[in-house]
Amino acid sequence: MNDKDKTPGFHTKLEDYIYTITVSYIDSRLFLADMAARGEDSMDDEGFEDALQDEVLRGEQLDVIAQLARLNYQKTAQHVLELFGGCTSEANVNEHKLAWLVYIMGALVGGNTGSASSMRAQQQQKPSGSQPLHVINGEIAGRVFSLMNQTDANTNLPPESKEATNLETLELSYLYFMEQFRKVYIGEHARQLSASAPPSALSRGDVSMASSENPSRVVQERVCTVLGLKDEDAILGILVKKIVTNLQHRYTLEAVLKRTLAYFYELAAGVNIVHSVDKMSPHLIISGKLLLKNDTVRHLMANHASSTLGFLHAGPKYGRYRTQYYATLGKLLFMECRDGSTSTTALETFNTFMMPQYQVLEQLWQAANTGDGSALRSEQLRLPLIGLCRDLRGICQACVSHDMYTILFNWLVDNPKQPQNCKITVFSAALNFYWDDPEVTTPLLKFVAEFVYNKAQRINFDQNSPNGILLFREASKILVAYSQRMLQREQSQPVYKDIYREKYKGIGCVLELFSNALHGNYTNFGVFEL
């Protein structure tokens, strides 16, 4: 430390300078948001870019704000809260400014990710009377969640207009804040903070001491106070409710739908989170298990194919999101199956969940076994077939163990003694009639490639079981049928409108299927020479 650093009041002046810089930087973001909202051409003329539309640039700027705000966190947070209150009280709300403020508030909350000891050390350096960091963060979270609830009150589907773009920007900022909130107070960091709480403070009933040692619980209690919630469990309900609202009413905003499903998967992925059971001691459980206890999630799993989930019924445009949606639900489903007391209970749980898919599969099966099976090639069955393939692929992706894969295998190969009567033969039959329709063949081939993929040794049949041969034979039928059709088409010298989509993409999928089947190690290829 040099002599200048020892000057009385030097650090105080330094904090003031940094605070001034931080506030000026935040205000400049809002000024640019005003310009962008008005659509002024001067932004481009002067070389300014709208960081709200550039994820990389926005992330860099938010990192700067989070770093600068650490030195004088309370004053910076108070300034942001004042700006937030002023913006929400305006007659004509500027969504760009609101989005920036929500992003900044998320950066502030996510920027304080040190250990519990470092957070206490930071607090000890603050002047007496200043609020703890986690109390401030609780106030910030409460304000954002309150605004989010107001936005969700409008359940109309956004039209394709400038207003929809503004809404998309605001919705993405909500999801960013939810991600930061989850990482700090519902994820691994919250677990580490709670694990460091001294048991003596909890055992003797010193709630204030326990609260200071457990910032996660204090934040949750503060959010409950701001929003008028009865307990900490309701905070998770807010996050889940937002996910469901986006799936129901924001699916036309594709960027929002994509980010929402990714966030839902992160919540269900099994990260440990803090859950206060008795208001005294933190309790660690798996996040997926906590989701299963939430009433909204239970209702979603019981009605996962509901018509209220518009993206499931809006055609192939949103088809790829079905796979991610069912991969998440499949993870929760198999988690529930593992917790079942008996294998019979697990099977009943699986069959109940799969009833909508079973009804579609049964309908396709009846069409495939009517006459020559040409009834499969109908517009009434085309979209259900596409949806079924995408759904089953997502559920198959969630099968990470032998027991879970076996349940799905037995559901599809339901009559192994008469293989020709198994439900899985529907897919090879459908391929014979839809081989020239890439909107059908691509999800179908991707599902079968996933189904024969022996990841984590999940496919492990008994030595005396013919299931491995049955699985390989069904995959081979699909491989041969598609390959022969494509070769015949090539001989006729076709004209492709989109050669990648109509030719190369399907070839790539079928080669992946072939590779997975060969490397599955569940078939003794020597039997084919007998």
pLDDT tens for each residue of 56-115: 999 999 999 999 998 888 899 999 999 998 888 776 778 888 999 999 999 999 887 544
Residue labelled with tokens 């401030």: 136
* pLDDT (tens digit per residue) in 116-164: 444 444 555 555 456 777 778 888 988 999 999 989 988 776 666 566 7
Q: Is the pLDDT of residue 305 over 50?
A: yes
Pair (256, 369) in one structural domain: no
Among 379, 350, 392, 384, residue whose Cα is nearest residue 364: 384
Among 243, 262, 395, residue whose Cα is nearest residue 327: 395
Pair (173, 265) in one structural domain: yes
The pLDDT of residue 116 is 45
Mean pLDDT of 519-527: 83
The pLDDT of residue 46 is 56
Dihedral sign from CA coordinates of 120, 123, 129, 134 = negative
Q: Beta strand pairing status for 272-276 and 282-286?
A: antiparallel
Pair (225, 80) in one structural domain: yes
Higher pLDDT, residue 412 or 317: 412
- How far, in Å, CA of 3 to CA of 137, rounded? 37
Last residue of a domain, one of 291, 308, 325: 308
Q: Is the pLDDT of residue 214 over 50?
A: yes
pLDDT category, 254, cuts 50, 70, 90? Answer: very high
* 107-116, 297-306, 358-367: the lowest-pLDDT one: 107-116
- How far, in Å, CA of 69 to CA of 111, rounded? 9
The pLDDT of residue 527 is 66
* Residue 22, in any domain of the structure: yes
Last residue of a domain, one of 293, 308, 323: 308
Q: Identify whether the C-beta of residue 429 lies closer than 8 Å to the C-beta of residue 373.
A: yes
* pLDDT (tens digit per residue) in 261-298: 999 998 888 655 444 444 444 444 567 777 888 889 99
* Residue 330, in any domain of the structure: no
Mean pLDDT of 23-45: 76
* Residue 209, in any domain of the structure: no
* Cβ neighbours of 67 (radius 10 Å): 13
The pLDDT of residue 13 is 80
* 61-65, 234-238, 444-448: the lowest-pLDDT one: 234-238
The pLDDT of residue 312 is 92
Q: Identify whether the C-beta of residue 201 lies closer than 8 Å to the C-beta of residue 287.
A: no
Classify 501 in phi/psi space as left (phi over 0), alpha (psi -120 to 50) or beta: alpha
* Residue 277, in any domain of the structure: yes
Domain of residue 441 covers 340-519
Pair (18, 104) in one structural domain: yes
Q: What is the mean pLDDT of the chain?
A: 82
* Residue 90, in any domain of the structure: yes
- How far, in Å, CA of 430 to CA of 385, rounded? 8
Mean pLDDT of 26-44: 75
Question: pTM of this prediction?
Answer: 0.85
Q: Is the pLDDT of residue 390 over 80?
A: yes
Among 435, 411, 428, residue whose Cα is nearest residue 355: 411
Pair (297, 353) in one structural domain: no
Q: Residue 355 is encoded by which pair of tokens?
A: 């009833």
331 phi, psi to nearest 5 deg: -60, -45
Among 74, 96, 73, 97, residue whose Cα is nearest residue 85: 97
Q: Is 89 exposed, middle or buried (CB count within 10 Å of its CB: 0-12, 13-18, 19+)?
A: exposed
* Residue 46, in any domain of the structure: no
* Residue 2, in any domain of the structure: no
- 58-61's contacts with Cβ under 8 Å and 24+ in sequence apart are 58/103, 61/29
Pair (406, 504) in one structural domain: yes
Among 74, 72, 69, 79, residue whose Cα is nearest residue 110: 69
Pair (363, 294) in one structural domain: no
Q: Is the pLDDT of residue 482 over 60?
A: yes
Pair (501, 367) in one structural domain: yes
Q: Total structural domains in the chain?
A: 2
In single-letter form, the type of residue at position 290 comes to L
282 phi, psi to nearest 5 deg: -70, 150
Pair (163, 55) in one structural domain: yes
Which of 4-8, 465-469, 523-527 reaches the highest mean pLDDT? 465-469
The pLDDT of residue 94 is 81
Pair (249, 374) in one structural domain: no
Mean pLDDT of 188-215: 43
Q: Which residues pair with 285 in a beta bridge?
A: 273
Among 323, 333, 438, residue whose Cα is nearest residue 390: 323
Pair (156, 254) in one structural domain: yes
Q: Is the pLDDT of residue 387 over 50?
A: yes
* pLDDT (tens digit per residue) in 306-359: 999 989 988 888 888 999 999 999 999 999 988 766 677 889 999 999 999 999
Q: Residue 527 is encoded by which pair of tokens?
A: 């039997």
Distance of CA 151 to the CA centre of its chain: 20
Percent with pLDDT over 70 in the chain: 77
Pair (288, 353) in one structural domain: no
Residue labelled with tokens 């009865």: 230
* Residue 120, in any domain of the structure: no
